Structure 1
Amino acid sequence: MSVMINVLKEDISYAEKILLNENCKFDPERIDFINNYTTLDLQAVPGSGKTTALLAKLLILEKRMPLENGSGVLVISHTNAAVDEINAKIKKYAPKLFRYPNFVGTIQSFIDVFLAIPYYANRFKTMPLRIDNEIYDERIRQCLNHLWNYGFGINAEMMRKILYYKNVNESLFYQYRFQVENNDILLTKVLNGAKLEIVKPRGNTRFENYRDYSPEDKASLYNWFFNFKLNILEHKQILHFDDAYFLANLYIKEYPDIVKLLQKRFHYVYVDEMQDMDTHQHDILEKIFYNGGTSFSIFQRIGDINQAIYNGNSIHIEDIWSHRQNTLHLEGSHRINNQLAPIVEKYGLSNVHIEGRKRNDDGSEIVIKPHIFVFDDATKQTVIPQFAEIIRAFQAEGKIPENPENKFMAVAWRKNHTEDGKLGLSDYWSEFTETGSKSKIDYEVLKDYIFFFNREDKTLKSISDQIINAFLKILRLENILDDNQKTFSKNTLFKRLKDCNFILYEELKQNIYNWSISCINNKLEYVYQLIKAYIPAFLAMFGKTICDSSNFIEGESDNVNVASIKTFECTNIYKKDGIDIQVGTIHSAKGQTHTATLYLETFYERGYGNYESERLRNQFLGECLPETLGRITNCVDKIKQSAKMVYVGFSRPTHLLCFAIHKNRFDLVLSDIDRKLWEIKELF
C-alpha cells in the first residue's frame, strides 16, 4: 500500500532554512521534484542543485517517520564521498533517516548488506572475511605462488598448462568473473564481458608451430578456472566487489521472493548520480525496484546522462539508462553563467538546454569570454602559467573576485603517454604525479604505506590507519589468523593484543602515535626503518618470525621516487603570485565547482581524430552533438566519450573557461571558430 506524502509550504520553508543561504528559495523546477513522490527520472544539468533538492525531499520525509506501513527509505549514491556529504548536511536534522528501517549508503554497501553477505552466509554457513578488490588481488597473488596446492584433481600435464597460462597471461587470473546467465553460472573474461574462452596463449611460439588446446583440454582448463575462483570465494572467504553482484543475482534467482521483501522494506528508493552506475549496478536496481513497472517501491533515479564518465566498461550509459515516461528536468544552473551555458550545452549527448543563472555577488552578469590558448611544441608548458596570468588580470579588472575560497584548476582526460608527440597531462605539467596525496587500503610494499598517506588530512588518522593496515597485511601474508580462524581486522588485532599482553598492546599504540607524528614531520625514511626493526617483535607476539612477508617489508616502491615526495605541498599545484592552480584529471574534478577552469586537450586513441578538438570540431563551431551524430556513422563511441569529458570539464567554472589546443590542430579544425564567442590567445 502506497504511503501518501502531502508536501506543505511549511515543509519547503523548513528545508530551505537548513539547505539554502539566507533569503534563498527553491525555484519552481526544484519544488516540482520535491513535491513528486512517484516513480520518475530526474535529469539535471551541472550545477542545478539536484542533490540539494533530493536532500530537501529527505528532510521532509524524515518528519513523517515512522511511515504508516512501517516501510523505510533507501538512498543510494555511487561513492563514499557522496554518502558522507549527505550525512554531513542533514544527519543532525534528520536522525531517523539514518536508522532502521532506512538505509543510506553506496550501491556497493547496499548490495553487500542486503544480498551478497546474507546469501553467502546461507550458502556457505559462514561469513566472508573481506569484500575488497585489493585484498582479493593479494589473495590471488598468494595462490599463484603456490599453484601446485590447487590441482582440483587434474593431472600433471594439465597443471603444466595452468602454469603456462600463468607465465604468459597472468592478468587473466585476476580479471575473470562469475556471472549468472539464464539458469547457468558462467565464467566471463571481465565483469559484464563475454564468456571466458580457453585458448592456448601464443607466447613466443612461431605461427607455423602453434597448436591450440584440444576441446577436451579446453573443457578441463575451464573447469579448473571455475574451481579456482570458487575456492577463493568459498574457502579463502575473500570477495572482489564484483563477486558481490554475482552473489546478489544468485540470491534473486534462487529466492525470487527477496525482491518483494526489499520493495516492502524500502517504499521510497532514491539513486543519486545514476549516470555513474555500471551495467550490472543499473540492471540489479531495475530488477529489484522497478521490476518491469510492477514494483511496490517508488523508484527515483537522479543524475545527468551527459556526465557519465565513471561507468567502467559501459560506455553506452545512454543505452542502458532509458528514460522513464515520467521524467523531470532541472535546466537552471547556479554554477554556469549565461555566457558559458550555450557553449556547454553543445556537447550534451541529448539536446540539452542549460539556463545559466550564475551571476556576480552583486547580481550583475558575468561577462568573461571563454579563452582558447593556442600553443606550439615549444610553448606547451607555458599554458598553465598563462592561465594564472589571465586569472590575475581579470582579478585586477574586478571581473573575477579575489576570494580565498576560489578554486582554479587545470584538467585533462589522459594523464600521460609513452608515444612521442602524443600529449598527456604530464606534458603540460612535468611535475604531475598520479599518486598525489591520495591513500589506499592496500599497497605492494611496506614503504608505500608510510609514504603515501593522505596529506590533506590535518589529523593523525590517515597515517595511523596506514600503519595499522601495514601490520594487518603482514599478518595476512604470514597467514596468522584470529581465534575464529579469520584474518585480523583492526578491532580484532587490538582486542587480541589487549587480552594477551596489555603492556605490549600499550607499547604498540604508543609506537603508532610516535611514528605518525614523525611522518607528519616528514621523517618518512626514519619511520620506515623503525617499523622494520619493530616487526620481528610484533610477529613474536604470535609465535612467528618473518617469512612470507619478507619481500613486502624489504621491497622498493614502484609508484614514484619516494625520496622526491614533498610534505604538505602537493606537486600537482602550480603557484604564482597568490594564484594556486590545482592540476588533475577530469575524473578528479567531477562534481566540483571552480572559479576558473583550464581544459588541456590530450591524445585518446585513434578514430575521427585523436584529440577532443578534432572529434568535437563541429561542437566548437556551434553545432549540437546530436546533429553531428545524425550524420556520422564511424567512430561514434570515440566522439561520445570525448563529448562527455568536455561536457564535464567545461561545466566546472563559474567565471572563466579556457581551452588549450596545439597550433596545428587549431589551424586545421578551429580556424573558423566564432571569435565573438571565444577569445583566441596565441602563446608562441
Structure 2
Amino acid sequence: MLLPVTPITDEEIQVIAQNSDLKPLDSERLDFLKNLGPVDVSACPGSGKTTLIIMKLLLLMEKWESTSQGICVLSHTNVAKNEVSTRLERTGINHNLNGKPHFVGTIHGFINQFITYQYLFSMGYPPQQINTNLAYEWRCKKISHQTRVYLEQHHIELKDIKIESINENSPFGDKLIDKKNAPGKHTLTYQEIAKVFWQSIRNGIITDDEILFFAKIALEICPEIIQSIRYRFPFVITDETQDCSSAQMELLNHLFDSGADKKSKSVIQRVGDPNQAIYSSSEKINFPNKDSITIANSHRLNGKIATIATSLAVSGIEGGLKGINDSNPQNPLHFILFDDQNIEKVLPTFADIVSSNIPPDVISNNKVAAIGDRIRGENEEKRPYSLRDYYPPFSADKQTRDFKHFYDYVVHAQLSIKESGMLSDGVEILADGFTRIISNDKFAIKTSARRKYQNLIQTLHDNKIDAGEIKNLFSRILLEKSTSKITYFDLLLNITKDIVLPGSNHDQEIEKIKNFYAIPKENIHRSPYPPTNVFQHNGVKIELSSIHAIKGETHAATLLLDTFNRMYFVKRIIPFLLGHKIPKRTTDKHKRAICGSFVAFTRPTHLLAVAAPESHLKENEISKLEERGWTIDTSLCEPWDEFGMESWLL
C-alpha cells in the first residue's frame, strides 16, 4: 500500500540522532530507519531497539501527510506498550502518536477496540471485563458442584476448554476438549459448561483467547473490515514480536498481510529478539524470517558477558553477540556454589563480590538485581525452591495490604503490572483501595481475591452511579506519566466525597478522605518495590524479582538464583555454559527456560553472577567453567573429605 510519507534521508536521521541517546548508527540500524517496506528486525539486548523504534516513529511523524491514515504500533504486553509511549513523551516533540488517526497499544487492545468490541456490541453483549483468570473463576462458580467434581476426577481444567464455534449448542466442537473419553456435545456436562460459557460472554466477561476468536468470526462474516483497517493503518510496527502467540500473529497476518495483491497490504515491520521469547516460541510465528535485519552488537554488554550469553541463544547469532561496552572489570563472571546450610548467605556474598569489582558510583547510580524463575512457594525437600529460600522476607504476593494512602495502592499496582505485564492486575489493586475508602453500610462491596474491580463496578451500577469516569481515571493513573497523578487523585477525591457524603458535609469523613488521597512527602520519590523485596549489605542494595519482571532492564550487576520448577533452573543451562550446543529438538518449556536465562544474562553492564547448589557441578565441570572465564566461589560450601565426611567432624 502506498504510504503517505516521502523517503527518509540520511540528513533527517542525523538531525533526530543528535537529539537521542543512541550511539553512532551502523549500517544495520540505518537500514531499519530508512526502510519503508515489510521487514523483520532481530535486535539483541542492549542494541537500543526501543530507541530505534522511537527514532523511526519521530521520522515518520515529521513527514506524515495524512490526517485520516495512521501508524499502528503494537506490542505483546502493556509494559512494552508503556515503554514506547513514555519514551515518546520524553522527547518533548509534540506529535500525538497516541491519538487519532494513530494507535499505540497491545495486540489484544487493538483487536478488541477495532473488531471484537464492535462485533459483540452488535450481538448485544459488549466486553466489560477482559481478564482470563477472572472469566474462568466466574465460570467455575456458575458450574454445578457435580460437574466441578467430574472435571477434577477426569483432570480437565476450564482453561483447557476453548470456544471453536458460535453455535451455542456445540461451541467446543464434538467433544469438550481433544482428549480420549472427554464428554461429547450431547452430554449434560458439555451442555452445562457451554451454557455457562455463553452466560459469561453475555455478561461481558471474556478471556484473551476469546478476543481473538470473535475477531476471527467477525472477519469471516464481514471481510470488508480488513480493507477498512488496512486503509486506516497502512504502516504497522510490532514490538517484542518474539512473544506473540501463533494465534495473535496469524490474525495480524490475516488482517494486514493476506491476499495476492501487494498494493492492498499494509506494511508490517516486526521487531524483537527470538532469543528472549519467554512467553511463547518464536519458531511458531516464523520470526525472524530469512531476510531479516540482524543487530548483534550490544552497547550494554562487555565482551566476556556477551560471549557467555551467546551460548544461551536458542536461535543462534551468526558471529555471536558483540559486547561493545567498554566497562571491563577484571572478573565480570562469578559462579557462587553453596550448600543447604549456607543458602541465606548467597545474597551477602554477592553483595561483597559487587562491592569488590564495581566502582561505588556505578553501584549507587544503577540497579543491582537478584532474580529467579520461581518467586512463590516453599518446599524443604527441593531447596532452593523459590526466592524465599535465599531471602525469607521476600514477598511475591500481589494481594494488596491495608494501606493508609491511595498512593501506596498505586505503587503496589505498578509493581504488579511490571511483574505480570497485565494492566488488569494493577486495576484490581486500585479497585481494592477505592473500595476500602467508599465502603460503608450502603456500599457493602464484596472483597473477593480476584473480583475487586468487577464487584466495585457492579455495586456502583446497582446504586445508579456512573462508573465511566472511575474506569478512565484508573487507566490514566497507571498508564500516564507521574506528573499527572496528583490531578487524577484530586478528581478521585471529589468522586469519593460525592459517593460517601451525598448532600452532606461531615468534616470528619471529609478529612479521612483527604488524608487517604494525600501523597506523603516521604513517599513521592519512593521506589516502586516494596521494602521486603530489597536486600542491603555492605552498601549494596539488591532488588529481588522474577525474570519476567526485569525484561528490558539494564543493571550494573545481575545474579541469577537457582530455583525449582520440575527441575532446577540453573541445572538446565549448565551444559550450555560448559560449551555444549543447544539441541535442535528441545521442548517449548525447556526453550523458554533457556530464553529466560538469556534474558537474565543480558541485563548487566559490569558483572554477571549465578548461584546454585554445589551438587549441580562435578569437579571437572568446575575446571571447565574456570577455563571459560568464570570465577568459582566455594566459600559457602563445607569442606568434605574423600569418604564424604565433613572435615570438621574428624
What TM-score range do you get, normalising by the shorter chain? 0.7 to 0.9
Deviations 1:626-679 (A, max 9, x none): xxx15xx6x644542331121111111111011112212112772342424111
Aligned equivalents of 1:262 and 1:602: distance in 2? 46
Aligned equivalents of 1:662 and 1:406: distance in 2? 28
Q: Report the equivalent of 1:25.
A: 24
Match of 2:221 among 239, 247, 254: 254
Q: Report the equivalent of 1:420.
A: 381
Aligned counterparts, 1:245-644, within 5 A? 245-291=212-258, 294=262, 296-311=265-280, 316-352=281-317, 353-360=320-327, 365-395=328-358, 398=359, 401-415=361-375, 416-418=377-379, 420-424=381-385, 425-435=387-397, 453-455=409-411, 466-469=432-435, 474=445, 477=455, 480=459, 482=461, 488-489=467-468, 491=470, 498=498, 502-504=502-504, 511-516=512-517, 570-605=531-566, 610-625=567-582, 629-630=583-584, 636-644=587-595
One-letter code aligned to 2:384:
L
Name the stretch that deviates more: 414-423 or 104-113.
414-423
Aligned equivalents of 2:506 and 2:214: distance in 1? 41
Aligned counterparts, 1:129-168, within 5 A? 129-133=128-132, 135-137=134-136, 139-140=138-139, 143=142, 161-162=146-147, 164-165=149-150
Q: Report the equivalent of 1:242.
A: 209
Deviations 1:291-311 (A, max 9, x none): 267551110111011111123
Native 8 Å contact 2:409 2:433 kept in 1: no
Q: CA deviation at 1:168?
A: 6.2
Deviations 1:157-199 (A, max 9, x none): xxx843644786898456633235999974389xxx9936696
Deviations 1:75-110 (A, max 9, x none): 011222322222222244142322211101111211
Native 8 Å contact 1:339 1:356 kept in 2: yes
Structure 1 residue 90 and structure 2 residue 112: aligned?
no
Aligned equivalents of 2:304 and 2:210: distance in 1? 47
Unpaired stretches in structure 2, ≥5 consecutive residues: 415-425, 447-453, 472-491, 638-650
Native 8 Å contact 2:135 2:206 kept in 1: yes
Q: CA deviation at 1:264?
A: 1.4
Deviations 1:480-500 (A, max 9, x none): 463898984554897798499
Native 8 Å contact 1:282 1:321 kept in 2: no
Q: Report the equivalent of 1:533.
A: none
One-letter code aligned to 1:645:
G
Q: Report the equivalent of 2:7.
A: 6
Deviations 1:276-322 (A, max 9, x none): 222322221122122267551110111011111123xxxx3323334
Q: CA deviation at 1:221?
A: 2.2
Q: 1:592 to 1:506 in 2, by over 3 A?
A: farther
Q: CA deviation at 1:330?
A: 0.7
SS in 2 for 1:383: helix
One-letter code aligned to 2:224:
D
Native 8 Å contact 2:534 2:541 kept in 1: yes
Aligned equivalents of 1:340 and 1:182: distance in 2? 55
Structure 1 residue 195 and structure 2 residue 177: aligned?
yes
Q: CA deviation at 1:238?
A: 2.3
Q: 1:255 to 1:619 in 2, by over 3 A?
A: same
Aligned equivalents of 1:669 and 1:637: distance in 2? 30
Q: 1:468 to 1:503 in 2, by over 3 A?
A: same
Query: Matched residue pairs, number?
Result: 576
Q: 1:639 to 1:128 in 2, by over 3 A?
A: closer
SS in 2 for 1:671: helix
Q: 1:285 to 1:678 in 2, by over 3 A?
A: same
Q: 1:480 to 1:50 in 2, by over 3 A?
A: closer
Structure 1 residue 662 and structure 2 residue 644: aligned?
no
Native 8 Å contact 2:362 2:556 kept in 1: no
Normalised by the size of structure 1, how large is the TM-score? 0.74
Aligned equivalents of 1:173 and 1:485: distance in 2? 34
Deviations 1:550-608 (A, max 9, x none): xxxxxxxxxxxxxxxx9985211110122101112111111111101111122231xxx
Aligned equivalents of 1:498 and 1:141: distance in 2? 36
Q: Identity of paired residues, percent?
A: 26
Native 8 Å contact 1:339 1:367 kept in 2: no
Match of 1:77 among 75, 78, 83: 75
Native 8 Å contact 2:140 2:148 kept in 1: no
Aligned equivalents of 1:9 and 1:167: distance in 2? 63
SS in 1 for 2:542: strand
SS in 2 for 1:221: helix
Aligned equivalents of 1:394 and 1:178: distance in 2? 55
Q: 1:477 to 1:325 in 2, by over 3 A?
A: closer
Q: CA deviation at 1:273?
A: 0.5
Q: 1:180 to 1:101 in 2, by over 3 A?
A: farther
Structure 1 residue 678 and structure 2 residue 630: aligned?
yes
Native 8 Å contact 2:72 2:102 kept in 1: yes
Q: 1:321 to 1:170 in 2, by over 3 A?
A: same
Deviations 1:222-270 (A, max 9, x none): 1221121111111x22223332222211111211221221111111100
Native 8 Å contact 2:369 2:558 kept in 1: yes
Native 8 Å contact 1:343 1:622 kept in 2: no
Aligned equivalents of 1:568 and 1:581: distance in 2? 11
Q: CA deviation at 1:142?
A: 5.8
Aligned equivalents of 2:393 and 2:195: distance in 1? 46
Q: Report the equivalent of 1:221.
A: 189
Q: 1:411 to 1:682 in 2, by over 3 A?
A: same
RMSD, matched Cα: 4.0
SS in 1 for 2:609: strand
Q: Report the equivalent of 1:154.
A: none
SS in 2 for 1:104: strand
Native 8 Å contact 2:139 2:196 kept in 1: no
Name the stretch that deviates more: 179-188 or 225-234.
179-188
Normalised by the size of structure 2, how large is the TM-score? 0.78
Q: Report the equivalent of 2:43.
A: 44
Name the stretch that deviates more: 255-264 or 170-179.
170-179
Q: CA deviation at 1:504?
A: 5.0
Aligned equivalents of 1:88 and 1:18: distance in 2? 16
